[in-house]
Structure 1
Amino acid sequence: MGQRPLEGRLVVDVLDVGQGDAILIRSPEGKTALIDAGPTRDAAARWLRAKGVDTVDLAVVTHHHLDHHGGMESVVRDWRPRYFLATDSDHATQSWLRLLKTVKAEGITVVLPTGRPRKVELGSVTLTILPQPPHDPESENDNSVGIRLQYGGFSMLMTGDSEPPSRRWWLENCPELLRDCSVLKLAHHGSRNGTDAAWLDVVRPELAVVSLGAGNSYGHPHSEAVELLKAHRVSLVRTDQWGTITMVSDGETWNLVSSSIARRNPRERAGAPTRPVAAGEWGRTRRR
């Protein structure tokens, strides 16, 4: 069994792994999923150890870029997840092929997204794997896996580094799986091509989170994305300012909590939420 960090609570950690993505999900029953694993060998593994995670039920790589799978080989080798989910995109590098070799050597069951939604149960938490858009040989970002997390009335949408073509495809083909999410993980580290008005109009998040490295060379998050969120009155929290971002829900209400919040005092930083977030209720969850 995995850790039970808060009995009766869902805990989602957007891990501080620098310029990359890694999201740790722990259900009230102790089931665990890791979505992406950061850019470096120990990016995710050190956080799993620090949080006392002893089992990983599901490991997901949203797409085949190093900033999302660089730390997954260590996780596969040391935690031996029950299932490994990734696409069969033909975008392959030596590091990606090495990861696949490790998955096979450890005897882990491989699961592929399909053209229809797939549900994964982590105890009382449901992960819905969005239908996979048609393969794009030119843009690996647009081969990203999309996932909606649902626990009671709390929901979170995560779509890797998806760009406008794949997001338009989801809007056209499965809008009901995108609607009214409590939290949106910004695609492509807050890039201008990772968020648009049509997407926000459907998702209608209460909060946006973004994973990125401090002083990154890409200029993430781009000012266009930040201003768009402001125009839609969506608060933004960032790992480069806050460190690991932790959300906790009992299925009825949810909180944004983290020891790093008090340490970094992000409310003194430009663009940080002005409402209290270190303790207490962030919002009532929205039932679908």
Structure 2
Amino acid sequence: MKRLLLAAALSLSSAQAADLTLRFLDVGQGDAVLVTTPDGKTMLYDAGKGGKAAELLARYGVKRLDLAVASHADFDHIGGFLDVVPRFKPRVFLNNGLPSPTATYTRVLTALQQVGAQGIVASDRTLKLGNSVSLRVLPPPQSAPKNNQNANSVGLILSYGKFRAFLGGDAEPVTTRAWAKTYPELLRGIPVYKALHHGSRHNDAAEFLALIAPKVIAIGVGPNNYGHPDPQALELYRKTGAQVLRTDQNGTITITAKADGRYTVTAERGSPGRPAPTPPKPPAAPPAPAQGPLLPASPAYSGPFDPAGADRDCGDFRTRAEAQAFFLAAGGPDRDPHGLDRDGNGQACESLR
């Protein structure tokens, strides 16, 4: 097991303050988590899909990011980096190392090169963020299909003294089972937990949550939420006894932690664990115009999979046309419960022929 120090820039310290701040940012339908260490170092884990993350970083006083992490390359996790990277110039960029599946992610990688970010591919290691915070990297397991970005999410266990938090992107059961087998003691008893895949019913599992035993579960979700969080997932979270908060109802969720393990939870709206009243949903916006080469009009889906059934990924389909027909039958482009349209342009599985 290797221990990597993230260059001198990540370990230089001013006088140490008392608290670590972990913010689950309200970026709409997507994930973005901002970490500020006691000595002022900053990490952004995912960036949502628009300009909201950059706005919030500025609001919270970030001048430059020491570390940016893309859990995986789906648009609702990396699209916001198009605004974040030029403005906050991450020093280091941690990612899953898979080839870019979309034009949007390619643009993010180009922007990172332009600001001189050092790229690191996730592997079994511990990173230091400043003097007092460690980040245990959980790389995607070898068993994860390479054509499934969710299953190749990068996990992090954040530690500050006795306080710990878990971030897992959109990891799927194939991922979490492998992590639980490889890192059972590291994962046991982590109080703060980011819900996987915005509370999809296909991602979090009772066995994994029993190992983590969270006290606080934060769900990153927005009004155009593709059915997230799913009632089955919410019931699963309820059974853990954890305090459950949602960015669509509570706004940005802030954890303020001390090295002795004590922490407080505050919410932008409502009380922690007691959501603010949900405002009426605005009318659905028209689908964004498609970008890049378009597929011919797809016929009605007649393949072997149920569009309303178990979660599917691009590896289940032989051609783009087959994937597009399934995507439309499942509600696309307005709804994408299977996550097949990775850059939000109305076209499913563009990596297929």
* TM-score, normalised by the number of residues in structure 1: 0.86
Equivalent residue runs for 1:1-288 within 5 Å: 7-40=17-50, 42-114=51-123, 116-134=124-142, 135-216=144-225, 218-252=226-260, 253-261=262-270, 266=275
Query: C-alpha distance in 1, partners of 2:36/2:113?
Result: 25
Query: C-alpha distance in 1, partners of 2:224/2:118?
Result: 38
Query: C-alpha distance in 1, partners of 2:158/2:274?
Result: 28
Deviates more, 1:14-23 or 1:99-108: 99-108
Query: C-alpha distance in 2, partners of 1:166/1:49?
Result: 34
Paired amino acid for 2:92? Y
**Aligned residues: CA RMSD:** 2.2
Query: C-alpha distance in 1, partners of 2:97/2:57?
Result: 27
Query: C-alpha distance in 1, partners of 2:56/2:269?
Result: 14
Paired amino acid for 2:241? R
1:214·1:241 contact (CA, 8 Å) conserved in 2? no
CA apart distance, 1:52: 1.3
Note the alpha carbon deviations across 1:47-91, whole angstroms, 9 max, x for none: 011111112100000001110000112211111111011111135
Query: C-alpha distance in 1, partners of 2:273/2:140?
Result: 38
1:241·1:264 contact (CA, 8 Å) conserved in 2? no
Query: Highest Rg: 1 or 2?
Result: 2
Deviates more, 1:84-93 or 1:55-64: 84-93
Query: C-alpha distance in 2, partners of 1:122/1:227?
Result: 38
Query: C-alpha distance in 1, partners of 2:185/2:153?
Result: 19
Query: C-alpha distance in 1, partners of 2:205/2:140?
Result: 20
Query: C-alpha distance in 2, partners of 1:192/1:92?
Result: 25
Figure out how many residues of one structure are paired with residues of the other and give that number.
264
Unaligned 5+ runs, structure 1: 270-288
Deviates more, 1:68-77 or 1:26-35: 68-77
Question: Closer, same or farther in 2 for the Cα pair 1:160/1:231, shift >3 Å?
Answer: same
2:29·2:224 contact (CA, 8 Å) conserved in 1? no
CA apart distance, 1:148: 0.5
Deviates more, 1:65-74 or 1:6-15: 6-15
2:265·2:272 contact (CA, 8 Å) conserved in 1? no
Query: C-alpha distance in 1, partners of 2:64/2:113?
Result: 18
Query: C-alpha distance in 2, partners of 1:144/1:165?
Result: 11
Unaligned 5+ runs, structure 2: 1-8, 279-353
CA apart distance, 1:103: 1.0
Question: Closer, same or farther in 2 for the Cα pair 1:171/1:65, shift >3 Å?
Answer: same
Query: C-alpha distance in 1, partners of 2:97/2:199?
Result: 26
CA apart distance, 1:219: 1.1
Query: C-alpha distance in 2, partners of 1:166/1:246?
Result: 27
Query: C-alpha distance in 2, partners of 1:229/1:265?
Result: 15
2:140·2:151 contact (CA, 8 Å) conserved in 1? no
Query: C-alpha distance in 2, partners of 1:260/1:30?
Result: 26
CA apart distance, 1:172: 1.1
The alignment partner of 2:30 has SS state of: coil
* TM-score, normalised by the number of residues in structure 2: 0.71
Deviates more, 1:236-245 or 1:260-269: 260-269
